[in-house]
Amino acid sequence: MSGTPATAPYGPVVLSPHADDAVWSLGGRLARWAAEGPRPTVVTVFAGPAAGKPESWRSAADPAVRRAEDRAACAELGVRHVPLGFTDAALRTASGAYLYASPRRLFGPWHPADLPLLEEVRAALLPLCAGASSVHVPLAAGRHVDHRLVRGAVEPLSPARTVFYEDFPYRLRERDHTNLRPRTERLPSEAVDRWLTAAGHYSSQASAHFGGAAALREALFARARAHGGPGRPGHADRHWVPVGQDDRGEARPAPVERGP
């Protein structure tokens, strides 16, 4: 698979369905890990090529643009970047036709042609998760098909240190965190600053979703303030762990259980 490293990561591994998902959603923690070590790895799953030049609404998913933005953001944070070769759902085709006819379809049922992808993505992620100290997976809030594919691919692997992050900017619903409990981590100001700078590298998505980098920055800043809690100055990140998982640090290696 394109982009797979010669050696498996051993620090925190963050699975990002698309360029921007990891950095926007938990960039503050990525910045802190990069500063303190061990160096984290961002695996961007759907970073592969398109069949042709994307047009109309699909132009926001242009893989060349998104890969360049992802490289810049990960370099800003000082994290290891592993892009895989799977194609974004907005650009996937079968028999010359797009699988998803409109943006709305991306948040509905999987196209039947996508069903084999679940095992293919799982096989690609297995070696990348095997030696990770923790594996960070999207909750799939918003129900985007690619986010659901990543979560569905990883959950059966049952890594002992699975942590679920809230997909920004999607609205979190109760169904997204069934059998999970929240955990909040304070973010140092230096990590917040580095995160916000890195997030701005995704200018194509900032324009598409927020009208520009300034509005994106304010939305991220507001979320970090809200997760800090009422009456508690500062910023924090909220994430979710399986009920019963301990609260020990994330530096302990945890091999993936190889299930059936």
Preceding omega of 233 cis (within 30 degrees of 0):
no
Q: In what order do the strands lie in the sheet with 180-187?
A: 80-83, 41-44, 12-16, 134-138, 162-165, 235-242, 180-187
Examine the pLDDT at 9 and tell me if it is beyond 80: no
pLDDT reported for residue 232? 61
pLDDT reported for residue 6? 46
Residue 131's pLDDT band (cuts 50, 70, 90): confident
Number of neighbours of residue 242 by Cβ within 10 angstroms: 13
pLDDT reported for residue 257? 32
Contact yes or no for 14/167 (Cβ under 8 A): no
pLDDT reported for residue 228? 87
Helix (H) or strand (E) holding 30: helix 21-36
pLDDT reported for residue 233? 65
pLDDT reported for residue 255? 33
Number of neighbours of residue 56 by Cβ within 10 angstroms: 6
Lowest mean per-residue pLDDT among 68-72, 128-132, 166-170, 176-180 = 128-132
CA distances from 145 to 37, 105, 118, 260 (A): 33, 9, 11, 24
| 194-238 pLDDT tens trace | 999 999 999 999 999 999 999 999 999 999 999 987 766 689 999
Residue 48 main-chain phi, psi, to 5 deg: -85, 180
Residue 88 main-chain phi, psi, to 5 deg: -55, 140
Structural domains present in the chain: 12-242 (3.40.50.10320)
Choose among 87, 88, 90: nearest CA to 56. 90
Over residues 144-167, the mean pLDDT reads 91
pLDDT reported for residue 98? 95
Query: Pick the residue with more confidence: 241 or 258?
Result: 241
Query: Pick the residue with more confidence: 254 or 114?
Result: 114
